[in-house]
Amino acid sequence: MSAPASQIDPRPADALLADIGGTNARFALARQDEISPLLMDSVREFAVADFPSLADAAQHYLDTTGASARTGVFAVAGRVDGDEARITNHPWVISGARTRDALGLESVRLVNDFAAQAMGASLLTPRDVVPIGGTAWRGHDREDRTFAIIGAGTGLGVGGLLRRDGRHYPLQTEGGHVSFAPNSPEEIEILQRMSGEFGRVSNERLVSGMGLVNLYRTLSAMAGDDPGPIHPADVTGRAKDGDARALRTIDIFCAVFGAAAGDLVLTLGAWDGVFLTGGLVPKLLNSIAHSGFRQRFEYKGRFAAVMGRVPTLAVVHPQSGLLGAAALAQDPRHTQS
């Protein structure tokens, strides 16, 4: 996945980058004097469960690669409240100041991971995306634009990207926790059964890695079966083998994903397009493209015609979160102690 440590440029980097999810922590370096600020050969990935804190994981990265940096930009899968961030699907609680001091950096900026995904979208080119419906996207121009960002991985991340007067502004949200709105008798029953287990049911309960498990288990219960212990990879693996219930699980996943993406366009006024990110998007790209995703995306009543023109773009850049962290590090107006 990444180059050996010996191939990392030994010069001190401008920034240490991190993209922290509920399962994996990705680290890299950024240098402003490069054509692209993200140094792809510096990327390393670790399991978050292997470290007691972000600082420990980051120090391990620095120690094993021999890298050094002046500042840090860390994107985390959770809400950032001032100097503190909590990972939604992992017990890490992160303090920017303590992490800065532990690593000996001049400054550290904590951002929501989908603020980083949004900034990463500002650097994407047409070769970094696969279009799934809507009008053609030819890349970024100089006009004011409003985009939405939504991505399924360990959780469901949601953000936005505004371009105004030549500058990009990422929007940090927790829109993945918006309530799930069923649209068929089958989905109504799914909501009822999940409500009995979780109480309130958000879109993330269906559109995420664990969402695949929740959906599969719920469909099994509706059929009077108990599938026993199951993991997201089991669902996708069974779907590849032609298992009817796993295939139906992925169909519903894609449909709800499309509905949530369409709702986000209406909420943000993101008529210029939606970037689909997250670890599950490349893995399920063929399913998303040939499912009810786009139909449910456009199925917005009196806005169906305008929704039909909004492009949905599956991001296939391998490190779009780190790319966004690098974009934030490149702009001195985004630095923070």
Q: Band the pLDDT of 142: cuts 50, 70, 90.
A: confident
The residues with which 170 forms a beta bridge, in sequence order, are 161
Cβ neighbours, 10 Å, residue 200? 10
Mind listing the pLDDT tens digit for each residue in 229-258?
A: 999 999 999 999 999 999 999 999 999 999
The whole-number pLDDT of residue 92 equals 87
Report whether pLDDT(333) > 70: no
The response to whether 176 counts as a known ligand-binding position is no
Cβ neighbours, 10 Å, residue 240? 11
The response to whether 23 counts as a known ligand-binding position is yes
Q: Mind giving me the DSSP string for 264-332?
A: HHHHHT-TT-EEEESTHHHHTHHHHHTSSHHHHHH--GGGHHHHTTS-EEEE--TTHHHHHHHHHHH-G
Report whether pLDDT(117) > 50: yes
The response to whether 22 counts as a known ligand-binding position is yes
Q: Band the pLDDT of 337: cuts 50, 70, 90.
A: very low
Q: Are 227 and 217 in contact (CB under 8 A)?
A: yes
The response to whether 221 counts as a known ligand-binding position is no
What's the average model confidence in pLDDT over 66-74? 94
What's the average model confidence in pLDDT over 303-323? 96
The whole-number pLDDT of residue 3 equals 40
Cβ neighbours, 10 Å, residue 210? 16
Helix (H, G, I), strand (E, B) or coil at 156: strand
Report whether pLDDT(156) > 90: yes
What's the average model confidence in pLDDT over 2-25? 74
Q: Provide the whole-model pTM.
A: 0.88
Task: Please state, for a pLDDT cut of 90, what percent of the chain lies above it.
Answer: 80
Q: Are 108 and 336 in contact (CB under 8 A)?
A: yes
Q: Mind giving me the DSSP string for 58-75?
A: HHHHHHHHT--EEEEEEE
The residues with which 274 forms a beta bridge, in sequence order, are 148, 312
The response to whether 87 counts as a known ligand-binding position is no
CA distance 177 to 155: 9
Report whether pLDDT(283) > 80: yes
Helix (H, G, I), strand (E, B) or coil at 142: coil
The whole-number pLDDT of residue 77 equals 84
Q: Which among 36-40, 110-114, 131-135 has the top mean pLDDT?
A: 131-135
The response to whether 21 counts as a known ligand-binding position is yes
The angle that helices 54-65 and 96-103 make with each other, rounded to 10 degrees, is 30
